[in-house]
Each structure stands twice: as structure tokens, then as C-alpha cells.
Structure 1
Amino acid sequence: MRKYIAGIFLITIILASIGITAYGYAKFNSILISSPDFVQEKYIVIKFPNSTYVVLSQNEYIEARLKGWKPPEGSIGYIITLSYNPKSPPDFVLEKRYEEFTIVVGSPEVKTCSKNPDEFKGSCTERTLAVSEVTLLVSTLFKRYFYAEAIARGLSNESAKMYAYEETMKRRNIRYLSLLVKAQVGLGLIGNEKHLGVIIMGPAEGANETSIIIPREGLIILKGKSDSSLRAEAILLENLVGLQFS
């Protein structure tokens, strides 16, 4: 009888786990769609022939063109829609103190870039650059928190830098967009007030628009029609918090 009860209990736990995972997965898909209540802004990020970037709001771009300015020949422009929950503006979400962060670099298909890049649906080079840009941005923000904390505790400049680096690395997670990760995001285990989540989705993940969506505190979704546009989106986020790496 005890074995029977234990078996029923185990089955119940398994079914409950499957149900929770399925619920989280379903919630993830709804998060990918911008709500009508969200604030929407348009930006143009231009990559110049020398590989430097400039970020302009839609109004700034229109005003510049009306004054006769135009990008140098060979420039590439990316029109990006920034959509965010009015309770979670991008600068607040990026600069807030978190306990850890997870960067979801794309679907498991991204792994093919290390062995068979020709099989990847997109550009392995551009995806790598986009991931590096996002990682640099988030790591820099985290280091800034811990550097200030160390200085306040009386550490020297060099010791504070080392402390900030070590604390940031302890809190850094790199994941692929698996079923489990989708469920964790949907359930709010990744992308919340204590755990910053940044999800990167390009052609390999079925992205059909170039946009940044911030549906809630601690969660940022980058969607790009091309992998190069994903890097442009990361550069836009840098610009919004006053940083520039490219």
C-alpha cells in the first residue's frame, strides 16, 4: 500500500511539473508580443563604413535629413522599434541593481557556429558580435554596481576593480533558448526584479521584426530580422544609458 501511495505521489509530482513547464512555455510566447499599452519609440541606428555607429531618434533623423544631412555612402541603417511597459522604462531596467543576470544567446542552433557555421540560419559572425556587445553592456553595468560598493567599503581602486570583476562573473549565466529556458522566462524565474534576463532572437529563432521589447522589470527581448540588426539593438541600449563601446 505504501508503495502504491508513493507511486501515486511521484506521478502527481511529475504531472504537476509538466503542467507548470507547459504553462511557463505558453506564457513565454505571449511575452514576445508587444502590448497595446506599451510605450513605443522609433530609433535609427546607422553603421558607417568605418564600422562606427550613430544612434538617432526618429525625430532627430528626420530633422537631420531635412537640413540636408545624409549618411556616408556605404552606410547601413537599422530602423528599431523600442516597446516597453510604462512601469519599466529601459534606463531603469538596465541600471537597476540585480543579483544575477542571464544572457540567452539564441536557440540551440547557435551551437552549430562553433563546428558547422554554414548550417546556421543567419550570420555566425554577426551573432557573435551581437552577443559580445550585449555581454559587454550588461557586465559593465554590473561591474559599476560592485565597484561603487567596494569603494564605499574603503577598497583601493585596483582592489575595487578586481572585486567588481569577480562579483560580476559569479552572477553571469549564458544559456540557449531551450524549452526549459522558455518556461523559466514565462514563469518569471528569469527576468525579474532580482534576475536580469536578456534574450537574443534573430533569423534562426524565427524573428520577423527588428525590435526591442521590455515587457516587465528585469526582462529585455532583442528581436532582429538579421543578426547584424541585433548588434545595432545592443548599441541602442548602450546609448540609452550613456555608454558607447562601438
Structure 2
Amino acid sequence: MDNRRLAAVLIVLLVIIAPISYVAYSYHSFNGLINPGTPKTSAEYVVVYTPSAQFYTLTAEEYRQLLESGEKLPPGSKLFNVTVDSYITGSPGVDLNLTLRSVYRQFTIVMGDPSVINCKDNPQLYVGDCRYRTLAVSEISGVVASIFAANYYLKGINMGYDNVTAKQYAFNQTQLGYRKTYLNFWTKVDLGRGKIGNEEHLAVLLIGPAEGAKENRIFTPRRGVLVIEGTTDETLRAEVVLIENIISFKWPEGNETKTINITGG
């Protein structure tokens, strides 16, 4: 084989193999993103959902003290034990605030495995509970959109806009920046290579029974990525409520989730 033919073969190999290798590396990096190893620190919480549709959030220690005091939960209450891990600052609460309250150009809600689409027309084909997955997606989308809009409202005010114009500016930027998708192959690649889930593009990822969730935990493996993992879809909903309490999120009047923060934080 002469040098020109050899060079041509090498160029073809580079053109074909290099992109494939990059995609494979990015896909592999996604697995490391959702399994980041030992956290710097963790905090344990208990979320209680009562038959009166009231959420209560407590630290594990506060829940233990509550039981020792002789207090009893309303009959029929549901308990969700959740771990919040920190990989960035060493403080789970700071990680969540830093990740959710930073200013981004875009945000993407990764609603879960492509099978979640069955909740629209064929819920019996979905591995999980469509009702609670829908609630979890809707609630975390609302939380992120509200924070995103508030950041751009303040930016509009700082740019000299009046109140009405700043609100419209915030609304427009939120509509332009919002994206939702499923956890398919290419989404995993985009997360793995950092196209989404970075300091300019927030990615919120829901992992439930359909995605093979193994535990109930909330964590931010890097700036711009929030992972909410729950072994049931109902747990995912409870975890979103816990996030709201940890970051002291307040819904616009009239849209409140019925929650009570008794964590002392």
C-alpha cells in the first residue's frame, strides 16, 4: 500500500472512529454522573404525607425525637426516607441552592425514560405510577421555571425596565430557555459530555422505577445538574417537596403546595 492510500485510510478511520469514540466516551461519562461515588457529606430527611394532603419535612433526628416524645402521626400517613448528598461544597443545602438559584441561559427537565410518554395515552404500559410521575415533573418544572423567571425579572429591572416590561422580559426568557426531554441515548450523551448540565444550562434529571432507581436520594454531581432519584414515583413527588423546603422556595400566591417545614432550618 503506497503512502497516499495509507493516508487516505487513516483519514477515513479518523473521520469514522473518532466521533464514535467520543460518543461512547460521553455515554460512559453519564454513568459516572449519576453514580458519582462517595459524597463529601449527606443529610437524612423524612417527608411525611398525611391523609389531609399535608406534607411535613423533618430531619431524621427530628423525626426520631418526635417519636420519642410520644407524638403519633395521623393514621394513614405515608413516610418517605430521603438522603440528600453533597458533592460540590460539602453542604447539601448549599449545593441545592447554588444549583437551582444560579442564573442560567437555559434549563432542561429530563422527565425520565422514554416509556414515560406512555402516561399520555397508554398508562398501563408504564412501569410505575403515571399520576405521581406527572405530578413530580409538573412540580419541579414549576419550581425551576419560577426561579428562572425571578432571576430574569431582576435582570430586567437592573437593565432599567419598568415592572411590567421586566415581567414580560422574564416570561419571554423563560419560554425561550425551557426545554423538556426524555432520558434517551442522546440525552445521556449530552449530559455525559456536558452539553446540558453546566454553568449556563441547568439539567434536572428524574430517576424513578422506570429508570432503575435503587434508592431515595437527591444530589448535584456537578454545577448545573440536579438528580432526583426515588424508588417510586410517589417518592419523586415527595422529594420535590423536600427540595422546595430546603431551598426555602415560595410559590406565587395561590399556587402553593401544602407543606410545613419543621426541620428547624
Q: Which residue of 2 aligns with 1:159?
A: 165
SS in structure 1 at match of 2:221: strand
Residue of structure 2 in register with 1:219 after alignment: 225
2:24 paired with 1:22: yes
Partner of 2:196: 190
> In the alignment, what sits opposite 1:145?
151
Post-superposition offset of 1:191:
1.1
| 1:1-246 alignment, distance < 5 Å | 9=11, 12-87=14-89, 89-244=95-250, 245-246=256-257
Moved over 6 A (4+): 2-8
Q: CA deviation at 1:96?
A: 1.1
Please give the secondary structure, in 2, of the residue aligned with 1:29: helix
Q: What is the TM-score of this pair, normalised by structure 1? A: 0.92
Of the structure 1 ranges 3-12 and 53-62, higher mean CA displacement relative to structure 2 is found in 3-12
Distance 1:235 1:123 in 2: 18
1:94-150 superposed Cα distances (whole Å, 9 cap, x missing partner): 111111111100011111111211010001111000000110110011011011112
Residue aligning to 2:263: none
Alpha-carbon distance between aligned partners in 1 of 2:85 and 2:201, rounded to the nearest angstrom: 20
Asked which structure has the greater CA Rg, the reply is: 2
**Count of aligned pairs:** 246
CA shift for structure 1 position 156:
3.0
Displacement after TM superposition at 1:67 (Å)? 2.2
Q: Post-superposition shift, 1:5?
A: 7.3
Same amino acid, percent of matched pairs:
35
Give the counterpart letter for 2:115 in structure 1: E
CA displacement, residues 14-61 of structure 1 (integer Å, 9 cap, x when unaligned) = 322211111111111122224224311111111121222111111222
CA shift for structure 1 position 10: 5.4
Structure 1 residues not aligned, in runs of 5+: none
**CA deviation after TM superposition for structure 1 residue 7, in Å:** 8.1
In 1: Cα distance, 2:214 partner to 2:14 partner:
39
2: distance between equivalents of 1:3 and 1:112? Answer: 51
Q: CA RMSD in A?
A: 2.1
The whole-number CA distance in structure 1 between the counterparts of 2:203 and 2:240 is 14
- Determine if contact 1:21/1:183 at 8 Å carries over to the other structure: yes
CA contact (8 A) 2:88 2:222 kept: no
Distance 1:187 1:229 in 2: 29
Q: Which runs of 5+ in 2 are unaligned?
A: 251-255, 258-265
Give the superposition deviation at 1:169: 1.2
